[in-house]
């Protein structure tokens, strides 16, 4: 009887310990470690997403993929004929816009609710990718909700804007990123004072190594 009572008590203790550990688990689940800032230290809140792949679409198509960017492939050769739009802005200059499709996987729950949706951002030419002044959120499409469960992937569209001079790429977007606008501002404000866009973002992809040929 004494042995049975001891075993029963030990079982209850183990359950209590397990529940206690669960209460203090990472918000993203056991598979999601704390994401790191650029300086190598853990970010205050886990990163919500991973950009698994970026598809460069052919023209305005939602389904026809011209090229794919992955964590292991940052190179893409752009053509005029595959652009979403081509606008000659001067005698020797032009602006090219390419439609892209992001494969976005949720890897952690949000630190803050985002009733107005998320930012899908392009860091445009003219500054470093971590410069907030060159971050262009939701420039072409409404803010998506991205309400998928942890482990699920959603497809969202955005675009990349390039400029050319004498047929050569000049201004290039430096980064594609995703922001929870509430988390982004919270980390920017005192007492945290995160200055870098990547440290305040839920996911980012860079660099994008683009080359170009005018094949019209």
Quick: pLDDT tens for 133-143. 999 999 999 99
81 pLDDT above the threshold of 50: yes
Express as a percent the part of the chain with pLDDT over 70: 84
Query: Does 136 fall in a domain?
Result: yes
Which tops the pLDDT comparison, 78 or 28?
78
Going by pLDDT thresholds of 50, 70 and 90, the confidence category of residue 127 is confident
Residue 25 lies in a domain: no
What CA–CA distance (Å, rounded) separates 173 from 110?
Answer: 27
Domain count, the chain: 1
pLDDT digits (tens, 9 = 90+) for 6-57: 444 434 433 333 333 322 223 333 334 459 999 999 999 999 999 999 999 9
pLDDT given at position 116: 96
Which has more pLDDT, 33 or 172?
172
Average pLDDT of span 171-180 = 92
Residue 1 has pLDDT above 90, yes or no: no
129 domain-assigned: yes
Provide the CA 86 distance to its chain's centre, in angstroms: 26
Cβ pair 138, 188 in contact under 8 A: no
- 85 domain residue, yes or no: yes
Cα dihedral across residues 183, 146, 119, 163: positive or negative: positive
Average the pLDDT over 124-130 and give the result.
Answer: 86
19 belongs to a structural domain: no
State the residue range of the domain holding 179.
32-213
Peptide bond into 191 cis (omega under 30): yes
Q: 4: which DSSP letter? A: H
Across all residues in the chain, what is the average pLDDT? 87
Confirm if 106 and 48 have CB atoms less than 8 A apart: yes
Q: What is the mean pLDDT of residues 146-167?
A: 96
Q: What is the pLDDT of residue 212?
A: 95
Is 53 inside any structural domain? yes
Asked if 54 and 102 count as a contact pair (C-beta separation under 8 A), the reply is yes
- Say if 3 falls within a structural domain: no
Is the peptide bond between 207 and the residue preceding it cis, with omega within 30 degrees of 0? Answer: yes
pTM over 0.85: no
| Residue 13 placed within a domain | no
Round to whole Å and give the CA distance between 138 and 182. 15
Q: Flag whether pLDDT at 204 surpasses 50.
A: yes
pLDDT at 34: 59
Burial code (b: 16+ CB inside 10 Å, e: under 16) for 113-150 equals ebeebbbbbbbbeeeebbeeebbbbbeeeebbebeeee
């Amino acid at each position: 009887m004494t042995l049975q009572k001891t075993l029963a008590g030990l079982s209850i203790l183990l359950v209590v310990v397990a529940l206690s550990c669960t209460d203090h688990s990472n918000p993203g689940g056991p598979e999601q470690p704390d994401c790191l800032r650029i300086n190598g230290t853990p970010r205050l809140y886990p990163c919500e997403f991973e950009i698994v792949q970026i598809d460069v679409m052919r023209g305005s198509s939602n389904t026809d993929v011209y090229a794919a960017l992955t964590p292991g492939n940052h190179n893409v050769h752009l053509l005029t004929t595959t652009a979403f739009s081509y606008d000659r802005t001067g005698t020797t200059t032009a602006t090219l816009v390419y439609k892209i499709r992001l494969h976005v996987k949720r890897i952690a729950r949000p630190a803050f609710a985002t009733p107005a949706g998320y930012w899908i951002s392009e860091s445009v030419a003219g500054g470093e990718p971590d410069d907030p002044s060159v971050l262009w959120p939701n420039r072409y499409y409404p803010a998506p909700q991205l309400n998928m469960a942890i482990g699920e992937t959603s497809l969202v569209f955005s675009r990349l804007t390039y400029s050319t001079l004498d047929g050569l790429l000049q201004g290039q977007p430096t980064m594609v990123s995703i922001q929870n606008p509430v988390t982004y501002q919270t980390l920017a404000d005192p007492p945290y004072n995160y200055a870098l866009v990547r440290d305040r973002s839920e996911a980012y992809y860079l660099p994008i190594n683009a080359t170009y040929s005018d094949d019209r």
